[in-house]
Amino acid sequence: MLSAEILTAFLLGVHTRVAVREWAATVHELRFAILTVTSVPALAYVMNLSG
């Protein structure tokens, strides 16, 4: 995915600073969704080991 972002930014002529700022803003906005999506498999793994 990161390679697609870099390629798209390059093809559209977006400056590196702007692309990084937008990426950081997106991650900041989605931080709780990312936490939820990563927590569910982790909880499933722990519950699977507990029997």
Prediction pTM value = 0.68
Amino acid identity of 14? V
Domain spans, the chain:
2-50
Amino acid identity of 11? L
Label residue 2 by pLDDT band (50, 70, 90).
Answer: confident
CA 24 to chain centre: 9
Amino acid identity of 5? E
pLDDT of residue 11: 95
